[in-house]
Amino acid sequence: MKETKLEINGRILTEQEALRYQKIQDLYKQNYHIYGRNWERNYNCETLNSEFRNKNKEELAKFVANLPNDQIKMAGRLMTKREMGKGSIFAHLQDQTGKFQIYLKPEYINQKKFEWFVEYADLGDFFGIKGKVMKTNKGELTVQIYDIVMLSKALRPLPDKFHGLTDIEERYRRRYVDLIMNQETKKTFLQRTQIINELRSFLNNKGYLEVETPILQEVYGGAAAKPFITHHNTLKTDLYLRIATELHLKRLIVGGFEKVYEIGRLFRNEGMSKKHNPEFTTIEIYVAYQDMKYMMDLTESCIKHLINTVHNKLILEYDENILNFEKSWTKISMIDSIKKAMIKDEEFTKIFQEISDMILKYHNIEDDNIRNIEKNKTFKLILKLAKSYKLHIPDHYNSTGHIINLFFESFVEETLIQPTFIFDYPIEISPLAKLNKNSKEFTDRFELFIAGREYANAYSELNDSLQQYNRFEEQVKEKNSGNDEAATMDLDFVEALEYGMPPTGGLGIGIDRLVMLITGQNSIKDVLLFPHMKPRAEK
């Protein structure tokens, strides 16, 4: 005889699920409300332990002797269930703060309810309990149950408690199961919230104003990235999901706010990796009448504060590195960092020094024609050097600054283990940053690198509307030459600058990467509750 498969919600139930489904039907017939309503609690696992764990068995027994049978009111998910001899059960419930043990015995809870628990309680079900606190002979804090109520019946069984979700992709896809089975995962996300809350407090206490700016934008900008495009039916126009909050926040500085920040989601239609997710969280901060150096100090003090708050120390182990945040953080220009990284390569060092001297020389040439001739000579020399190292050079890399940054990304970035500020970025890759006062080729911009990754980006903001228009034009040319991540022209932002913006320092920090660092995670997926995944392969 062919076995009949039970199908609900468009899928065939497994044998375990079918047994649970039958229990649900039995409970319905008994008019038992298995999906309960509210349950008043006066303790959770954390508060139970903090109040009673230091009392011994005798002290607890004496303490609760004259207390009512509902001294303890708690709730949680059933994680273990062990039937002992002499008609008793030990089990563990789990709430947000941890697991706690419960003890059921017919002399404390009526026989019918005890038998009901034996028959119908499955791992994963939620229960509300009432009882008295006690300690076992082994000294484990336990709630002796006088009443128990099912609050939710789980149709699907939990994964094996010893292995949990072994498929990493499934951990990310079914984060809710990962959170049930893995307390370290839960701890990471509790710490993430702690970090963000502390970041807010740090800035609020310094007089910064938290603001919100649009996610849907007519013109995307503020970063070099490809946007997501959507469509507004009523306006009959395409809109972009923001790739940065920068340009709107600087409009607020124009409007008269002097210290603003926004913690928000950004969206970039780019590749995915251990360091990248299509949507991610950043904080951007803007301060009127300040510059890059001020933002550098703010970055260091803020990150030190967050690390110390979570770990109560400033030395961390991360990605097989011991990171020392106590010492003064290194500050070095991009040019000098390349020289330092390549110092053992005599041929490279010789040619790169010649290129550096040529750049320094044409900095001071006033005649644009002569200056352009010298710039072209320098570009040809650095391009030849890059090709000799077989570096991939995109078509739009048409200037010395592009190749300098390519050298930095290729030879330096991954070597920056201890906290390091790299400053003096080429103008070609910094369209929103103010020029260095001693240079026409480099800007007052820095990025912070730790353990070979970038964590912060900041600069003295360009507040010259004429220069900003020209920079946007250069970006449009670059986009037309093949760089689909180049900025677009934002005339409204230029118009805002025409009303006047004071000297301003700006800073952006990737919160997801910062959380990875502070919590010791190596993949961005481990600090995002619901990271984006490739669609499941069809079976």
Residues facing 75 on adjacent strands: 128
The 3 state secondary structure assigned to 287-340 is EECCCHHHHHHHHHHHHHHHHHHHHCCCEEEECCEEEECCCCCEEEEHHHHHHH
Would the annotation count 447 as a binding residue? yes
C-beta of residue 214 within 8 angstroms of C-beta of residue 240: no
Dist CA 144 CA 107 (whole Å) = 11
Angle at Cα 396 formed by Cα 394 and Cα 399, nearest 5°? 105
Give the Cβ contact number of residue 350 at 10 Å: 9
C-beta of residue 355 within 8 angstroms of C-beta of residue 400: yes
Give the chain's end-to-end CA distance (angstroms, integer): 28
Query: Using CA of residue 45, residue 47, residue 50, residue 52, what is the dihedral sign?
Result: negative
Contacts of the segment 357-360: beta carbons below 8 A, 24+ positions apart: 359/400, 359/441
Would the annotation count 498 as a binding residue? no
Q: Which helix (H) or strand (E) holds 202?
A: helix 183-204
C-beta of residue 391 within 8 angstroms of C-beta of residue 342: no
C-beta of residue 184 within 8 angstroms of C-beta of residue 219: no
Dist CA 151 CA 193 (whole Å) = 28
The packing angle between helices 246-255 and 491-498, to 10°, is: 20
C-beta of residue 234 within 8 angstroms of C-beta of residue 259: no
C-beta of residue 485 within 8 angstroms of C-beta of residue 268: no
Residues forming the annotated binding site? 447, 454
Residues forming the annotated binding site for Mg(2+)? 447, 454
